[in-house]
């Protein structure tokens, strides 16, 4: 039965969407033929679509709805702030209470001496800020030749010219003339796909040492910073071997370069601490934040900057900023989100309840014939699909073919689990209960069974 509601029938919405709406990271022609799914409402960890289906959202939107959907408090705060002061800028020697309060709160939560926040409206913008801020820092330090950023292949740092250049996504670099000059990439610590015969720990150290080799090759006097996600998210939830980050930290300490931790996914509780840097024992000079900062209820991000870097940047005018830097409504919403994360002990829930439970039941998926590894850290989890567990082989089909089949079977089972190539990933809202985690895993297993049937029927169960 069609829902009684104030919007148009699904087919009409789909036709209008196809006619006028260009979707990000989408082949819009093919989507128009297939028909887009229209999400109409959400509550807790569940979405509802225009056909009335209830879908378990194990991706928290796009890794961002940390406190879950439907929290009235955020709506109230946004309405109140819009009435009181909907907008004012922070450029011309002015400020407002939401920006002050949010910056101060982030400084309290952030580790070490990360006490200063430069606001943006997204992670991409924040990483563009980082490129300009770090180069400006070295210029003010009297070392203007230190301009080169070292990043990693298969990293995701955003989609603007600068941030997509920092990222290491080959498919993105193939379009639009990326990367911009002054950004180089080393290999990722993806043991499952690239570790060969090495043990994970040997491999982790070897991959970290590429940073030292790259610094030597370029000359330390030219390198400005290294940027990385504590755990790669969009690259497929690649949890690095335990040896990786200590070695990276050692190298950053031994050389005069800045370390930027892109916490856009790992921040605000995802790994069981406020920041992934705390979970993985990283001491960054700058952290990129967005997504979970507002649980996606309003677009806001930023760069959290150390005392030392902020002091240097403050010596002159930094000719950079966004109209919406520190937007009062977004800042007020983010502040309320942080209050809920703290008051409701949601991060403790991740650390003590949800993550240990997920770790246990997720690992059980490794016995499925299609699954080569099933790992999690906090509420980030992934599985690698393989036609041959023993050799960790890739499928002979184009990368992503098998992942897409599996993703479609997830959708058919009302589960949002994403595919990255032939890896499957989840990052559910942090409020997810153990019972709901069991339901995620039940649906995932059913989807894997159905995918396996399809893959075998189509003769795709072949190693590359
Ligand atoms: C999503 C993401 C970004 C980009 O954030 P946007 O808000 O989409 O611009 C940057 N870094 C990481 C690690 C991300 O996951």
In a domain, 266, yes or no: yes
326 CA to middle of ligand 1, Å?
Answer: 18
Q: How many domains, the chain?
A: 2
| Mean pLDDT to the nearest integer, 189-198 | 98
167 lines ligand 1 (CB under 6 A): no
pLDDT of residue 103: 98
φ, ψ dihedrals at 384, nearest 5° = -100, 125
Domain stop point among 289, 316, 343: 343
Measured from the Cα of 290, ligand 1's closest atom is 7
pLDDT of residue 298: 98
Element (H, E) at 335: helix 328-343
Q: Are residues 376 and 309 in the same domain?
A: no
In a domain, 337, yes or no: yes
- According to DSSP, the β-strands at 54-57 and 415-416 are parallel
pLDDT of residue 3: 56
22 CA to middle of ligand 1, Å?
Answer: 19
Q: Are residues 267 and 357 in the same domain?
A: no
Residue nearest to atom 11 of ligand 1 (CA): 157
pLDDT of residue 5: 60
Q: Are residues 163 and 125 in the same domain?
A: yes
Measured from the Cα of 234, ligand 1's closest atom is 15
Q: Rounded distance, CA 200 to CA 457, Å? A: 35
264 CA to middle of ligand 1, Å?
Answer: 6
Q: Are residues 419 and 331 in the same domain?
A: no
264 lines ligand 1 (CB under 6 A): yes
| Mean pLDDT to the nearest integer, 137-146 | 98
124 lines ligand 1 (CB under 6 A): yes
In a domain, 441, yes or no: yes
Please say if the pLDDT value at position 68 is more than 70: yes
295 lines ligand 1 (CB under 6 A): no
pLDDT of residue 7: 73
123 lines ligand 1 (CB under 6 A): yes
In a domain, 139, yes or no: yes
pLDDT tens for residues 48-66?
Answer: 999 999 999 999 999 999 9
377 lines ligand 1 (CB under 6 A): no
| Mean pLDDT to the nearest integer, 174-196 | 97
Q: Are residues 339 and 399 in the same domain?
A: no
Q: Are residues 377 and 316 in the same domain?
A: no
Q: How many residues does the chain have?
A: 464
In a domain, 213, yes or no: yes
Domain stop point among 276, 309, 343: 343
122 lines ligand 1 (CB under 6 A): yes
- Ligand 1, from 261, 265, 324, 330: best to mutate by most atoms within 8 Å of Cβ? 265
Average pLDDT of the chain to the nearest whole number: 97
364 CA to middle of ligand 1, Å?
Answer: 30
Pair of tokens at residue 401: 């073919």
453 CA to middle of ligand 1, Å?
Answer: 35
pLDDT tens for residues 152-168?
Answer: 999 999 999 999 999 99
**Which string of b and e fits 30-41 if b means at least 16 CB within 10 Å?**
ebbeeebeeeee
124 CA to middle of ligand 1, Å?
Answer: 6
pLDDT of residue 271: 98
Q: Are residues 333 and 360 in the same domain?
A: no
Cβ atoms within 10 Å, residue 255: 14
Q: Are residues 259 and 398 in the same domain?
A: no
| Mean pLDDT to the nearest integer, 28-49 | 96
Range of the domain at 146: 73-343
442 CA to middle of ligand 1, Å?
Answer: 29
Closest CA to 239 of 76, 145, 336, 359: 359
Measured from the Cα of 126, ligand 1's closest atom is 9
Q: Rounded distance, CA 352 to CA 427, Å? A: 17
Q: What is the largest CA-CA distance in the chain?
A: 69
pLDDT tens for residues 224-258?
Answer: 999 999 999 999 999 999 999 999 999 999 999 99
Q: Are residues 117 and 265 in the same domain?
A: yes
193 lines ligand 1 (CB under 6 A): no
Measured from the Cα of 265, ligand 1's closest atom is 15
234 lines ligand 1 (CB under 6 A): yes
Element (H, E) at 54: strand 54-57
In a domain, 14, yes or no: no
- According to DSSP, the β-strands at 148-152 and 223-228 are parallel
Q: What percent of the chain has pLDDT over 90?
A: 98
Please say if the pLDDT value at position 443 is more than 60: yes
Measured from the Cα of 233, ligand 1's closest atom is 15
233 lines ligand 1 (CB under 6 A): yes
Measured from the Cα of 64, ligand 1's closest atom is 1
In a domain, 128, yes or no: yes
Pair of tokens at residue 97: 């209470």
Residue nearest to atom 5 of ligand 1 (CA): 123
pLDDT of residue 136: 98
In a domain, 417, yes or no: yes
Cβ atoms within 10 Å, residue 236: 25
7 CA to middle of ligand 1, Å?
Answer: 31
| Mean pLDDT to the nearest integer, 17-25 | 96
Q: Are residues 260 and 391 in the same domain?
A: no
pLDDT tens for residues 351-368?
Answer: 999 999 999 999 999 999
**Which string of b and e fits 57-84 if b means at least 16 CB within 10 Å?**
bbbbbebbbbbbbebeebeebbeebeee
pLDDT tens for residues 96-118?
Answer: 999 999 999 999 999 999 999 99
181 CA to middle of ligand 1, Å?
Answer: 21
pLDDT of residue 403: 98
Q: Rounded distance, CA 40 to CA 9, Å? A: 12
6 CA to middle of ligand 1, Å?
Answer: 33
Please say if the pLDDT value at position 2 is more than 70: no
CB 230 within 8 A of CB 263: yes
pLDDT of residue 207: 98
- Ligand 1, from 120, 156, 169: best to mutate by most atoms within 8 Å of Cβ? 156
Domain stop point among 313, 343, 373: 343
Give me the DSSP letters along 128-178. HHHHHHHHHHHHHTT-TT--EEEEETT----SSHHHHHHS--HHHHTTTTP
Q: Are residues 117 and 154 in the same domain?
A: yes
247 CA to middle of ligand 1, Å?
Answer: 25
């Amino acid at each position: 039965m069609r829902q009684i509601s104030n919007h148009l029938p699904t087919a009409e919405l789909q036709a209008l969407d196809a006619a006028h709406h260009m979707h990000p990271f989408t082949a819009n022609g093919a989507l128009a033929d297939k028909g887009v799914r229209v999400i109409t409402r959400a509550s807790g960890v569940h979405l509802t679509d225009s056909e009335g289906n209830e879908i378990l959202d194990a991706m928290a939107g796009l890794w961002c709805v940390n406190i879950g959907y439907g929290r009235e408090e955020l709506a109230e705060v946004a309405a109140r702030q819009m009435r009181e002061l909907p907008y004012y800028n922070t450029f011309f020697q002015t400020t407002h209470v939401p920006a002050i309060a949010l910056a101060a709160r982030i400084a309290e939560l952030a580790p070490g001496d990360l006490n200063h926040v430069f606001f943006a409206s997204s992670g991409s913008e924040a990483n563009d800020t980082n490129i300009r801020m770090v180069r400006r820092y070295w210029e003010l330090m009297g070392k203007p030749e230190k301009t080169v950023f070292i990043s990693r292949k298969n990293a995701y740092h955003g989609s603007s010219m600068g941030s997509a250049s920092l990222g290491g996504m080959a498919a993105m670099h193939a379009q639009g003339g990326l990367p911009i000059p002054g950004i180089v990439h080393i290999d990722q610590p993806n043991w499952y796909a690239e570790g060969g015969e090495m043990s994970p720990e040997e491999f982790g150290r070897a991959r970290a040492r590429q940073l030292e080799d790259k610094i030597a090759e370029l000359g330390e006097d030219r390198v400005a910073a290294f940027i990385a996600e504590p755990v790669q998210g969009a690259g497929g939830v690649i949890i690095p071997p335990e040896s990786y980050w200590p070695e990276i930290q050692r190298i950053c300490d031994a050389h005069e370069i800045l370390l930027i931790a892109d916490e856009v996914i790992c921040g605000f509780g995802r790994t069981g601490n406020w920041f992934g840097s705390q979970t993985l024992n990283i001491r960054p000079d700058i952290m990129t934040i967005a997504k979970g900062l507002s649980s996606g209820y309003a677009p806001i991000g930023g760069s959290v900057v150390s005392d030392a870097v902020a002091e240097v940047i403050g010596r002159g005018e930094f000719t950079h900023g966004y109209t919406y830097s520190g937007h009062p409504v977004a800042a007020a919403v983010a502040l309320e989100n942080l209050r809920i994360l703290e008051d409701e002990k949601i991060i403790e829930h991740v650390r003590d309840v949800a993550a240990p439970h997920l770790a246990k039941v997720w690992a059980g998926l490794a016995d499925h014939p299609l699954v080569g590894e099933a790992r999690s850290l906090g509420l980030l989890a992934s599985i690698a699909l393989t036609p041959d567990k023993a050799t960790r082989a890739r499928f002979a089909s184009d990368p992503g073919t098998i992942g897409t089949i599996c993703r479609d079977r997830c959708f058919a089972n009302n589960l949002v689990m994403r595919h990255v190539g032939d890896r499957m990933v989840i990052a559910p809202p942090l409020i997810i209960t153990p019972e709901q985690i069991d339901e995620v895993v039940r649906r995932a297993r059913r989807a894997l069974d159905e995918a396996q049937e399809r893959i075998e029927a189509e003769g795709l169960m072949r190693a590359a």
